[in-house]
Homo-oligomer: A and B are copies of this chain.
Amino acid sequence: MKAIVNVFLKAGVLDSQGKAVHHALDSLHFNGVEDVRVGKQIVLKLNESDKEKAMADVTKMCEELLANTVIEDYTIELV
């Protein structure tokens, strides 16, 4: 089973990487961009076939390592 974890800065937290990309796109004359947010996508290959168990495991991984829950949110998708 594969778990796709997306980790993003919470709304309201300054996304300096996103701002930098936005600025760079402006410099390259891409004018139709209103906002840019940059996050991480982590793809985990798991040898767990039980969906509920996998979701519980990956949630624990996010809380303990993958996301800084003070400033970041995460979503988990199992495929």
- List A residues at the B interface (Cβ < 8 Å): 6, 8, 18, 21, 24-25, 28, 30, 32-48, 54, 57, 60-61, 64-66
Contact = CB atoms under 8 A, between A and B. Distances in A.
A57 B30 contact: yes
Contact of A33 (B35, B40, B46): B46
Contact of A65 (B8, B25, B35, B46): B25
A48 B64 contact: no
Contact of A6 (B25, B32, B41): B41
Which among A32, A35, A40, A61 has the highest number of chain B CB atoms within 10 Å?
Answer: A32
A40 B42 contact: no
Contact of A43 (B25, B36, B61): B36
